[in-house]
Structure formats: C-alpha cells, structure tokens
A and B are shown apart, each in its own frame.
Chain A
C-alpha cells in the first residue's frame, strides 16, 4: 500500500483544515489503492457525500463588480501563478505581496500603459495600484531590484499567454473555474483560524452514467457524486467548498478511474495522471473580518477628508489604474498580527480580496452604490504613513485588539525575505529518504518568486554547484549544474 496507512473503516470526516499540509503525502498514495478504498465505502457515500454546505451558492465578487467577462479567467490564472504552494500555507500568503511588488515595479517601468491594453491587464494594474500605495515602504526597495525586473518580464509573458489562450478554453468549455469569494450570507465571523473555503465548480463532460470525484481534498478516500447537468447529456458538475492550495483529483466514471481532458493535468510524484486545481486563498477575508470591522471605523475617521478630495473616483472606481501618480486607496494597510510576515501578506490579500462583508452592516453584494462610495481613491497619504506616532498608536491598538502572543512583533523586520525561507531544493533531501518512491526527481511546486533566480551552494572540492528554477511550459524545471572552478 502507499505511504499512508489505510483506514478502510474510518468514518468519513469533512475536509480537515490541515488538508493542505497532507498533500504531499496524499500524492504518494497509490491511486488504485485509494480507489479500492473508496469503492469499498461506495455504498455509504451516496447518501452522505454531498455536504449541503458545499452547495452554497458561489457569488463571485468579481463577476458582480465587473462587467468584463474576462475577469474570472484572471482569477483562475492568478491562482495557478500564485498559489502553487501546496505544502505550506504561510508562504502562500506572503507570496502575494511579492506578486504585488512585481506589478508595482512593472507599472513603474512601463508607467502609463496603453489605453487599449486588453482588459485583463487593466485589471492587473488596477489591483497593483491598490496594493502599491498601501504597501509598507520596504516594498518599493524590493520591487526596484533585479528581482522585480526579471519577474515582471516573466509575468508579462505568462499573463498574456495564459489569459488569452489556456484559460479562455477552460472557461468556455465549462470546466472548473473558481470564484474567489466567500458566501454572501456570511455570519459575523470571529477571529478564529478557520481556513477560508472557496467555492469551486468541478465539471465532468466526458460522458458516463455515474460520476464521482475523489482527490486530495478527501484524502483520496471519499468519493463525491457529481450531478448531471440538465439538457447537457454527459455533463456532470458539483460545487465544492475547498480550502486554498493545490488540489489534485480524479474522476470515477462508471467505476473507472479517469482524468478530465478539459482540466489541467499533471503527474504526481508517483507518476499518476491527475487533474489539479490551484485555488487562491481568500484566507484573510474570513480571518480578518473581525479586524476589518474595527479597522473600518478607524479608517472612516481617518479618511474622511481624503475621500472628499478625490472627486473623480466616485464614478469609476474600477478604472483608476491610469492615473499617473500612485493613487491612494482609502484602506489602511498594516494589520500587524501574529508573525512578522503574515501582517504584510494578509494585508496584500486583504486588498486584493475585499471582504464581502464590509462591516457596519454593509455587504458588497447588497448594492453597488454602496461599494462605490466605499471605494474611494485619493492622492493623499494617510496619516498612518506619514506620522510615526499615529502609526505606532495604530499598531499598539491592533496589538491590544489581537491580544496575541507576539506583542510588538511588527517592530522587528523579518530576518530573511520570505521566499528564501522555503527553498524547495532543501526540501528535496527530506523527501529523498531511502526507499521513497521519489525516483522521478519530483519536487514541491516552487513559490513563483524564486523562479529564474540563481541559487548556489558553498563551493566544495573546487566544484561549483548552481541551480535555477525555470518554467518549462506549464511545469517547473529545477536545473542543478555542477561545474569546476576554472
């Protein structure tokens, strides 16, 4: 049997919050074993497998806010670019902020992009503006470096390729696309640490009479039945609430384990062909609602004057991206919380994925008017950035609200840039214990910010060893070159 102990009689539990940490192990499970397992349990699946809460309606913020139909593709594409980190939740958060830096830098380089750039790019710049202004000062130094530049180039490539081709197919063929939003009727969240769930629609369109999906999100044990789509013979779908991260899955079509030709496929470490989806973490949305409520009030006070000074933003908050001067969002950054990194990353997430529940009884979906007045752009720098005493006061308040263990952690900058704390080549040695099945040299999916960087180990025996992770089509090749010192 595979590497995981099998519990054929184990009761089926819902998706566990720690699922993403298990992903690597899960991939080692022999799919055939797993399938047998689940088939053994088939009978009790049918009734209980579809969790009613999984069927919550997906109301994508982006669909509603934006008339542009390309937008959902943006979201799915972004997911593959950004949240490819399936082995650790924390880095996947701070990846975001690096990402934003890149946009920022790119924007600075290419300053005012053409008006007729395609809509997708507009949205990107739009978002980058949002975060650029609100990032802490260190972001500007990071983005101006070499790192920023190389990645900009790369992103420019992938964004066009990806947006225009690959994902438009996916989109229109009705395959799974995810909508990074949370439920509309969300109860007032508490600041506890539930992983945010993202509604994801999974579609099977290659016929069959009984279609199930199984995957890393159920530990490859449980099978979830798909519902036939009316008027479309051979098409089945299901909407699942999944935690952020990479999910691998396959379909069981009339007792045959299959993968969809319409979804991204890859081989896992065992060499199994699986479909996979990478889901953007809206984690901060739920986790931070509590804070944002408190913050909201704070901000409203602080920004009251700012709002008034920006006259043009009221009509077109979505098209702010062409202003030359970095526009200021009215939201404040800086939610210092546990951990020095997470504050920044959560900030980035927060800005990218505005909480649907705005606090004070406002919900984004309730009315566009409301959200428009809420989202104002301004050119004035909030006092929290200009006045150290205000900033300190702000953080102190946050610390009190959080009542967390790491008091004053925001005072100390991180020791390393976050992406350097997670080097996949260092992980490899851990995987490669004797007897492991990893003989194809499979590595964890790299954090995209480390792509095209040169890594090196110390020179031993007059031999230099350098490594670089590059994209090869839609996969990541980590080349390690050994060369003698001349």
Chain B
C-alpha cells in the first residue's frame, strides 16, 4: 500500500484506539481550517441548466457532459433554482409509470415543472441548501449530512449586481477524496470497521437480476435517499448493483417504455467506464477505505462476509458522519 512515510507498527488496541481518535480530531481540524473554495481546482467547468429546458433534453446534456447532476438557473428571477439530480428523473419515471396516459406531459415537461411531479407522486421535495464557498468545509459537510443530500451547491453573490452566482457544487465524494489526499492522518485510522459502528446492517434492501427494473426504481425512492440497490443471487451473494445514476442511461432520449425490463437487462445500458462494485469486510480499516476513495470513484462499499454474502452497506455519508461527529 502506498502510504507515505514509515508504516505504523502494529500495536496494542488501546494505542490504536487513541491514535484513531487523535487522527479523526486532526482531520476535523483540517476540515474546519479549509473552505469549500479550497477544494475547487484552479480552473474548472460548471454545467448550468436553464429551468425552461425540457427534462428530456437536460438528460441528454448531462450524459453528453458526463455529469450526473447540474445546478439549475432561473433566468426569470436570475436566481439559483436548485439542483437537477438523478432523483428527479426517478420521480418522472414513477409519475409516468402511474400515469401512462400522460406521455404528452412527460414529453413536454420542463425542468421547472419537476416540482409539480414531486407533488403529484407525493415525494418530499429536497430543500436544496446552499453554502457560501468561503464558509469552512466542516460546515458544508454538516449541512450536507443534515439535509441528507449527497451534494451541496456553493453560492455566492456578485459584488456589483448582488445577484447569486453558482460557484460550484461539492459532493460527499469530492470532500472525502480531498481529505484522503491531503490528510496524512488517515493512515492512523486502523480500527476495524466492526468496532466503529458505522456500517448499516439492518433492512438492507436487495434485488435479484430478474427483478423488474421499475421495482428497483421503486426501492430507490422508497427508502428515502438510497443511491443504489445491491443485486444478489439466490443465496444472497452480492453480484452487482443498480445505482440511481443508472436510471439516466435507461431513459436516455426520453424513452420511457423500457420500464418492463429486468434489472439485468437494464444494466446492459450501463456505460463501459463503470468503476465496478466496491466491497469491504468488517475487518477492514478506515485507512484502507479512504485509500480506495482516493484512488477510485467509489460512492459506497458493500460489506460482505468471507463467502461473499452481503451483510451491510457503508456509504460515504456514514464515513463522513463518523469523521464529523464521532470520537470527540
């Protein structure tokens, strides 16, 4: 493992525990000392969508630009108007599935009509909280955890016109990667995950390859903020995952008549650069987990036992929550 400097020698549990505690506290200090602005590259791009765009066109734009979400801009009021994420498309699918006669409406749906869809299917609308880029990163993380969202828009005001500027959007993944890249302390996080009590093991939903994709999409909304559903075989061994972002590929081009497909068939639409399913065991350490975050675009770890059976999930927000609040 390419951790820098000398490897820490294995020592007794008390020392490991103390080291982990100090390391987490030090990472927290780091998060407090840096701002969201610091995470941004020197030069970067940001895709912004006008709220009067058609939903199906905005989907193509997201796919074309290889992004899964984009801030919305209301040209009428010159204001930031929330984020377009995969959950919006899931809502539209659900709406269409329950109202197959409304194809005309879905086809002509504009982004500013998404709120009506949310109402129609009774989904709690996300309150998109934004934060100023120069607020400490720690605050941005806390805000993300509290609003149960995976990303937070950075909004500033133009000095002259006093209008809002969407500066960028930070995700949990980018923040954790930033931590993994810049905090050397992560190598002291050597306690096994099992002891940290951060793995969700209860009520892990799963599906099988033959499950209709619409049922899986249902699961994605039901659990309120689940970003993926693991796919297991008959015995319960983990074989794949259906992610919320896979929905984008499914309804590409505004076609909603593939909803009868099974998950297995729907996965064939996935693009080639899929990073794969990341797993870990309860004996793994946060240092290794964050090392993987540093190297790969991973959004969750499925916890499996030695035989490959699914036992739990470790999401990025679980990790973030631990870093923000635990060991104090």
A192 to B38, CA, bound (A): 41
Whether A479 pairs with B48 at a CB distance below 8 angstroms is yes
- Residue in A36, A257, A266, A472 whose Cβ sees the most chain B Cβ within 10 Å: A472
Q: Decide yes or no whether B57 CB sits under 8 A from chain A.
A: yes
Stretch from A26-34, A207-215, A375-383 contacting the other chain: A26-34
Whether B273 pairs with A435 at a CB distance below 8 angstroms is: yes
A/B interface sample: 16 pairs, CB < 8 A: A1-B2, A267-B38, A270-B181, A428-B45, A432-B66, A440-B40, A441-B168, A442-B43, A443-B44, A477-B44, A480-B65, A482-B58, A483-B49, A483-B53, A484-B50, A484-B52
Interface of B is mostly: mixed
Please tell me if A165 contacts chain B, counting CB pairs below 8 Å: no
* Chain A residues with CB below 8 A from B47, complex form: 480, 482
Q: What's the count of A-B pairs with C-beta under 8 Å?
A: 143
Range, interface on chain B: 35 or more
In the assembled complex, A164 has its CB within 8 A of some CB on chain B? no
Contacts of B166 in A (CB 8 A): 479
Known pairs A271-B41, A477-B168 / 18 extra A-B pairs, C-beta < 8 Å: A1-B2, A30-B294, A35-B4, A39-B5, A257-B4, A265-B38, A266-B41, A267-B38, A267-B39, A267-B41, A268-B42, A435-B273, A441-B45, A442-B43, A477-B44, A479-B48, A481-B48, A484-B53
Is B261 close to A, CB under 8 A? no
A444 interface hit (Cβ, 8 Å): yes
By size class, the interface of chain A is 35 or more
The answer to whether A262 has its CB under 8 Å from any CB of chain B is no
A255 touches B5 (CB 8 A): yes
* Chain B residues whose C-beta falls within 8 Å of the C-beta of A36 in the assembled complex: 2, 4
Cα distance A268–B43 in the bound complex, in angstroms: 9
**Least CB separation from B58: chain A residue:** A482
Verify B50–A481 contact, CB threshold 8 A: yes
**CB <8 Å contact, A267 and B50:** no
B54 is an interface residue with CB less than 8 A from chain A: yes
A394 at the interface (CB under 8 A from B): no
- Which listed residue, A1, A30, A273, A425, touches B45 by the CB 8 Å rule? A425
B197 within 8 A of partner (CB)? no
Q: For A267, what are the chain B residues with a Cβ–Cβ distance below 8 Å? A: 38-42, 178
* Interface presence of A139 (CB below 8 A): no
Give B residues with C-beta under 8 Å from A: 2-6, 37-50, 52-54, 57-58, 60-61, 65-67, 73, 75, 133, 156, 165-168, 173-174, 177-178, 181-182, 184, 271-273, 294-295, 297
Closest residue of chain B to A432 (Cβ to Cβ) is: B66
- Contact, CB under 8 Å: A483 / B75: yes
The 6 closest A-B pairs by CB, nearest first: A483-B50, A434-B273, A442-B41, A476-B43, A478-B45, A266-B42
Residues of A close to B168: CB separation below 8 A: 441, 477
A35 to B6, CA, bound (A): 12
Interface centre among B182, B271, B297 (most CB of A within 10 A): B182
Residue-wise, chain A 106-130 has the 8 Å CB interface mask toward B (1 for contact) of 0000000000000000000000000
Once the chains bind, are B167 and A273 in contact (CB under 8 Å)? no
Residues from chain B with a CB closer than 8 A to the CB of A33 are 2
B43 adjacent to A482 (CB under 8 Å):
no
Contacts known (A30-B2, A271-B178); A484 close to B57, Cβ less than 8 A: yes
Is the CB–CB distance between A439 and B297 below 8 Å?
yes
Q: Which residues of A contact B2 (CB under 8 A)?
A: 1, 30, 32-33, 36
A271→B177 CA distance, assembly (Å): 7
Q: Does A171 contact B (CB under 8 A)?
A: no
Which B residues touch A31, using CB under 8 A? 181
